[in-house]
Structure 1
Amino acid sequence: MTRKQGGNFQVWTKSNESCPEGTIPIRRTTEQDLLRASSIERFGRKLSPISKTDEGGHEHAIARTKGTFRGGKAFFNVWKPKVENSDEFSLTQMWVVVGTYENHDLNSVEAGWQRDAYEKTGCYNLLCEGFVQFSSKILVGGSITPVSTYNGQQFGIDLHIWKDADAWWLEVEGETVGYWPSSIFTLLWSSKDTIVDFGGEVFIGRMPSSGHTTTEMGSGHFPSEGFKKAAFIRNMQVVDENGALIPAPISKVIIDSNTCYNMEVHLPTKDPIWGTFIYHGGPGKSSICPLERF
């Protein structure tokens, strides 16, 4: 069985710290964070998907839905995957997307958990303008504790993104954290052609001489190993035009390199705890993962 962590799931709350009324918790930027960023200009910015080249790229294992949706919700199993280099990251999350990078007009709101060597690879936190936080209980970008263990206790968090008349809202573990105002979007606000993705992503830095990165996705184990061994996302739902949550109608699976990272999709079950769910992840470089990355 999985055990939900409730409201006390971040490291900073373990010392009984709290924020005064009318304030919010903010993660402190350290000198070490700045020194490890590739540049001042890139610090705090999300790394955009780029073509797979010797300079690096993104590898995904994603279950996709596409339609007239107003958001999504799921329970995300949390792990601590190994990350090889400071310019790489591994994450599990939900994307709500309209548009494409190729057309230079992509709108995306994303929420999930991320692991990297210096905990700062993109605007998943409050370093970029746009997101308005008013929760005093959730530290955006804060460390999650505890994490799942292989063949042991499993932990995770509930994430919910939805749209109302004025904004896209984010809820974590039942706590409304804040919103992205409609004014910052060009497409995501009005389009009926919305993508909701669930899954994992690894950003790979410059190719080392040894071949593919050893950065892990999820638990670092393949989906075929199943519960307590592979990472999962369960009870995946989308928000329909009427604002109701319905099982996510998975229409496409995107796997960039199934010998390095993979996914298994399980369509709706009778168990309301699991619903539509996926196992995803992998170890990166291994005996079956190609020596050359791409």
Structure 2
Amino acid sequence: MDGQMNSDNYKKTGCYNARCPGFVQVESGIYLGRRFPHVSVYGGPTYESHISITQDSVTKNWWITLGNINIGYYPKALFSNLGSAEFVGWGGRTKTKVGTPSPPMGSGYFADGNSSHACYFRSALIQDASGRTFGPKPNQILPFSDKTECFGVKYFGYQGEFFGSVLQFGGPGGNCGN
């Protein structure tokens, strides 16, 4: 969750995960930034976690939920610009020391439409001001990768009732520049 514009690539503004000040932890066993106990393997077993970020209609706090467990929330007072949005984003990021190869993202493979190959978000949904929930249409998606030789992203739209709207991403990393 990004509480401010990140026009400087998070150098002085913006934040993510547990690095956002003000998060109120309510579940002691699960926390932001925690490693997942099981990870999917390319072509092998696939593990999923249902994660949501929703705004409480009464308090206006932003709740982070894993499955049916409320992990905690960001108080509404932290955000001055989240009453409505023109853009919503899903994504991933890697980080390494300058001059060293970037680590892989996801499974380390590029998006190819096969859910057992690359990392994905499924049932990627947005809720409008009236409370209507929907998956974005393909013409509303703007995939972006700043290092296409190392990482990719593809939106596959609606893939049926089980998968819903699917956004797949990842890549091998490597020498991606600064």
TM-score, normalised relative to structure 2: 0.81
> Which residue of 2 is the match for residue 229 of structure 1?
117
Quick one: which amino acid aligns to residue 228 of structure 1? S
Determine the structure 2 residue equivalent to 1:245.
133
Higher relative contact order (CA 8 A, sep 6+): 1
- Residue segments in structure 1 that go unaligned for 5+ positions in a row: 1-94, 111-123, 286-290
Q: Aligned residue for 2:23?
A: 131
The number of equivalent residue pairs is 172
Q: 1:100, CA displacement in angstroms? A: 4.4
Query: Which residue number corresponds to residue 75 of structure 2?
Result: 181
The CA deviation at 1:221 is: 0.8
Supply the RMSD in Å over aligned alpha carbons.
2.7
| Structure-2 residue corresponding to 1:263 | 153
Contact 1:106–1:187 at 8 Å: present in 2 too? no
Match of 1:149 in 2: 41
Q: 1:245 deviation in Å?
A: 2.1
Give yes or no for the alignment of 1:172 onto 2:66: yes
Does the CA-based 8 Å contact 2:94-2:102 persist in structure 1?
no
1:129 CA displacement: 3.7
Is 1:284–2:173 an aligned residue pair? Answer: yes
Asked whether the equivalents of residues 113 and 156 of structure 2 are also in contact (C-alpha less than 8 Å), the reply is no
SS class of match (2:44): coil
Using the TM superposition, give the Cα deviation of residue 153 of structure 1 relative to its aligned residue in structure 2, in angstroms. 0.6
Contact 1:96 1:196 in 2 (8 A): no
TM-aligned CA deviation for residue 159 of structure 1:
0.9
Q: For 1:21-100, list aligned pairs within 5 A.
A: 95=1, 99-100=5-6
Contact kept in structure 2, 1:236 and 1:275, CA below 8 Å: yes
Shift of 1:137: 4.5
Flag the structure with higher strand content: 1
Q: Which residue of 2 aligns with 1:101?
A: 7
The alignment's TM-score, normalised by the length of structure 1, stands at 0.51
Q: 1:158 aligns with which of 33, 50, 55?
A: 50
Partner of 1:293: 177
1:183 is paired with a residue of what secondary structure?
helix
User: SS of the counterpart of 2:150?
Assistant: coil
Q: Answer yes or no: is the 8 Å Cα contact 1:219–1:230 preserved in 2.
A: yes
